[in-house]
Amino acid sequence: MSLLRFTKDHEWIRQEGDTAVIGITDYAQEQLGDVVYVELPELGRQVERGGEAAVVESAKAASEVYAPVAGEVVAVNDAIAADPATVNTDPMGNGWFIKLRLAEPAQLDGLMDEAAYRKFIAELK
Amino acid sequence: MTGWSQALGAHPGAAAGAAETVSGNRGLQIEEKLLFEQDSPGHCGVDLPEPAGLAPRLGGTERKGPIGLPGLSEPQIVRHFTRLSQKNYAIDSGIYPLGSCTMKHNPRLNEKLARLPGFADLHPLQPPATVAGALELVDTLAHWLKTLTGMPAMALSPAAGAHGELCGMMTIRAALTARGDPRRRILVPESAHGTNPATAATCGYAIDNIPNNARGRVDLAALKAELGGDVAALMLTNPNTCGLFEDEILDIAAAVHSAGAFFYCDGANFNAIVGRVRPGDLGIDALHLNLHKTFSTPHGGGGPGSGPVALAAELAPFAPLPWLVHDHGGLRLVEHRDGEAAQSIGRLKGFHGQIGMFVRALAYMMSHGADGLKQAAEDAVLNANYLRVRLEGALSLSYPGPCMHEVLFDDRFLKDTGATTLDFAKALIDEGFHPMTMYFPLIVHGALLIEPTESESKASLDQFADTVLALAARARGGDATSFHAAPRLAPRRRLDETTAARKPVLRWRPEPAQREAAE
């Protein structure tokens, strides 16, 4: 069973056992516009909760992708570095950024669920 | 058409003239080929005699074959660059309302004085005794800048605004190191120039953002919450990139100083407050100025930038070399990091900075006088507010006015029209206007940041405002298609920025057939 959570910075995080997959939301990719470059962290890096985990650049702006929870980077999606358009076409699927081994799975509890996130972005629009 | 032009033309409709004329030219706008495509082997613009009895002394490092430079005659080259320059839009062509860029008129008097042989023909390695006039000019410029900023020391060598930031932050780092208190964080508000966090990162600091409040200014409570013993400095842009004066700046300075941190101010927008406010009175410890903005020296490809840095007394001992000091006998250059300059951060640049820009900036200041400089700032603010009032009914103003030298709108007025900020900017090009700054600052959605400067007359501002209002009405009238098709009349149609960024082609290469012929 997977647990999907969201941040106010428009990252999504899906728990899979003791690891979690992280990406940016459909709303985030839409706001950024065409993604032209993605910078991913090296494997094995420890990231803090709220720390910079990746960089995503569009024709309009460069933004950081923050780690919603602390953990160790155990996988990165090289496919989006090679073809950044995937972040636009499939942000919640093949456009994932990194996988973390969770340092403290309980940190996920503080994040928004899908309903809360939908409400959050509805207020932004 | 050969490879390079085809690559540019690959986007639908990119080669505007191609379908309309036999030649591909439009009127007298020539579809110019690259110099490499114009190569006529054997042609040469200069005719030098082969020296007799030539003995190579390069010890076998001579090049082995041709390096592929094109053969061109002088008229070919002159026409090439003239045609390219005619495609360019410049402040000498018309209004250039790029926000935060201060594209003001470059007075011709500045140019005349910078070309005086006594300044233009100097060599930086001349003995100081032979350049007394230039040194006095530098000292006089520093005196004017110190007077306007109310700060005791000026570092003139930085070559541009971002270089000035680096200079200021390096002096702050040196001062903290000297007092045995190296700190690791720099605070940067969301409304700062993008170069600020980049500068702090270059200096090895961690950067934390400070949010804005609902009035487009620094959130003072959030700033106070972030301040602590590990904060080296706050980097504030004032007036900020929303075109607003940070009206709580005295409280900000007090909070920063009580945390033992330094207060850096990005003075790129100094043109809004010259003669009205002295940054030194606001508690600022270091501030860079852009001579190529506020003081009318050319920029944007027109000339090198120049980013002098004003320093508070506490930072002055760390100022970069060279120093110009007053001695009994007059001005003396200090070029080495010892004695009185032992704490200097050293040289940031070869020689003494952009002397040609110093001449221009001083010419601008002296020809305007103190009252004229103050009026230039007031007129810049007046012009921006005139545009604000003319446009705020039709565009969406991000923060309530009045503004300073630039006015910030966002894209709420385009909501549900199908047109975006980018489309709007492209439509302005068809109407003969250089667009405003788009999508910056990032704190508002789809930003349109307009800075007219004091150079524009009311007639010029009205022409621009009328066009913007007509385009806004067209967008609201449901004509999104025409916006998506813009620009229709520029030398190139809409460029494919996404492909350009994802698959940049940075070097022209000959077509295979040409390559074989060349070989």
The ipTM value here is 0.79
Phi first, then psi, for residue B232 (nearest 5°) are -80, -40
CB contact under 8 A, A36 and B498: yes
For residue A62, what are its two tokens?
């460069």
Nearest to B403 by CA among B217, B267, B277: B217
Tens digit of each residue's pLDDT (9 = 90 or more) over B352-362: 889 999 999 99
Write the CATH number for B131: 3.40.640.10
Q: Is the pLDDT of residue B450 over 80?
A: yes
Residue A74 is predicted with a pLDDT of 97
Q: Quote the pLDDT of residue B226.
A: 97
The pair of structure tokens assigned to A7 is 């941040």
Q: Which 8-state DSSP code applies to residue B245?
A: -
Residue B508: what pLDDT?
87
CA-derived radius of gyration, chain B: 26
Q: Which residues of B touch A60 (CB under 8 A)?
A: 439
B161: in domain: yes
Q: What is the pLDDT of residues B406-437, one digit of tens each?
A: 999 999 999 999 999 999 999 999 999 999 99
Q: Is the pLDDT of residue B514 over 80?
A: no
What pLDDT score was predicted for residue A12?
A: 96
Average pLDDT over residues B479-496: 94
pTM (2 d.p.) = 0.89
Q: What domain range includes position B136?
A: 109-364
Q: Which of B494, B496, B497 has the highest number of chain A CBs within 10 A, making it the mutation to test binding with A?
A: B497
A-chain CB neighbours of B439 within 8 Å are: 60-61
Q: Mind giving me the DSSP string for A17-38?
A: TTEEEEEE-HHHHHHH-SEEEE
Number of H helices, E strands in chain B: 15, 13
Interface of B with A (CB under 8 A): 439, 442, 445, 497-498, 501-502
Q: Is the pLDDT of residue B241 over 70?
A: yes
The pLDDT confidence band at residue B513, using thresholds 50, 70 and 90, is: low
**What per-residue confidence (pLDDT) applies to B368?**
97
Interface of A with B (CB under 8 A): 31, 34, 36-37, 57, 59-61, 84-85
Q: What mean pLDDT comes out for the span B480-507?
A: 92
pLDDT per residue over A73-97, tens digit each?
A: 999 999 999 999 999 999 999 999 9
- As given in the structure block, the two tokens for residue B448 are 């349109």
Q: Cβ of B449: how many Cβ atoms within 10 Å?
A: 25
pLDDT (mean) for A42-69: 92
Report the chain B residue with the minimal C-alpha distance to residue A83: B502
Report the mean per-residue pLDDT for chain B. 92
Distance CA B143, CA B184 (A): 34
Q: What is the pLDDT of residues B105-157, one digit of tens each?
A: 999 999 999 999 999 999 989 998 899 999 999 999 999 999 999 999 999 99
Q: What percent of chain B has pLDDT over 90?
A: 78
Number of Cβ pairs < 8 A linking chain A and chain B: 18
Cα distance between residue B257 and residue B249, in whole Å: 12
Structural domain tally of chain B? 1
- Are A34 and B498 an interchain contact pair (Cβ–Cβ within 8 Å)? yes
Min distance A37 CA to chain B CA atoms (Å): 7
pLDDT in tens, B8-25: 443 444 444 446 789 888
For residue B137, being part of any structural domain is answered with yes
Q: What is the CATH number of the domain that holds A10?
A: 2.40.50.100
Nearest Cβ partner of B439 from A34, A36, A60? A60
| Residue span of the structural domain in which A19 resides | 3-124
Helix, strand, coil content of chain B in percent (nearest 5):
40, 10, 50
pLDDT reading at B387 higher than 70: yes
What per-residue confidence (pLDDT) applies to B11?
Answer: 42
pLDDT band for position B223 (cuts 50, 70, 90): very high
- Inter-chain touch B501–A36, beta carbons under 8 Å: yes
Please count the structural domains in chain A.
1
- Return the pLDDT at B56: 82
Average pLDDT over residues B92-104: 94
Mean pLDDT computed over B322-339: 91
Provide the pLDDT for residue B442: 87
CA dihedral for B343, B345, B349, B355, sign (positive or negative): negative
Inter-chain contact B502–A84, Cβ cutoff 8 Å? yes
With beta carbons less than 8 A apart as the criterion, state whether B221 and B215 touch: no
Give the pLDDT of residue B515.
58
pLDDT tops 80 at residue B519: no
Cα distance between residue B82 and residue B202, in whole Å: 39
